[in-house]
Amino acid sequence: MQKEISNLSKIRFSDCDPIGHLNNVKYLEYMLNAREDHVEAGYGFTYEEYTRKTGCTWITIQNEIAYLKEVRYNAKVLISSKTIEVGDRLSKVEILMKSADGKTIHCLLWVTVIYFNMKTRKSDVHPEDTRRLFEKFLVDLEEKDFKSRASYFRKQNKKANL
């Protein structure tokens, strides 16, 4: 079982600013779209299917993002995601945008989501089977806070570019 799922994406010209760098908001789009693909490939369902079946979904309540190295148009990037926290109501996912060879980290994103019941319009507790599924994919990080994690990747990038 693969706990970190990855796919390649090509950065499009229309998603870049006039100097050829990926626009900040577009990092989120690429990374969240990749996560949606990763959930389908790794967890075996789409958000739409899950919501239709259970009446529940996940709502993003916080994004923490660090832009570590610019990405230029036409670049191929490797986007990976993993579950780093699972609680009764909250979960956290780490998404990384890397160079195609995986040596440079371009962007780090932590997404905190809350399990949400569409019928009651309130947060709800994860069903036991859903929680168990996510816990199978849980990755324990050495760095426990976002700032430390971003600092770790900045140092890795410096080493890789020496």
Q: How confident is the model at residue 89 (pLDDT cuts 50, 70, 90)?
A: very high
Q: Which amino acid is at 71?
A: V
> Span 48-76, mean pLDDT?
97
Q: How many domains does the chain have?
A: 1
Residue 107 reports pLDDT greater than 90: yes
Grouping H, G, I as helix, E, B as strand and the rest as coil, residue 61 is strand
In this prediction, residue 9 carries a pLDDT of: 97
- Round to whole Å and give the CA distance between 65 and 133: 26
In this prediction, residue 162 carries a pLDDT of: 63
> Span 71-89, mean pLDDT?
97
In this prediction, residue 30 carries a pLDDT of: 98
Residue 144 reports pLDDT greater than 80: yes
In this prediction, residue 83 carries a pLDDT of: 97
The domain that holds 114 is classified in CATH as 3.10.129.10
Domain extent, residue 56, equals 5-160
> Span 63-70, mean pLDDT?
97
Residue 143 reports pLDDT greater than 90: yes
SS (H, E, C) 33-59: HHHHHHHHHHHCCCHHHHHHHHCEEEE
Residue 2 reports pLDDT greater than 90: no
- Round to whole Å and give the CA distance between 123 and 121: 7
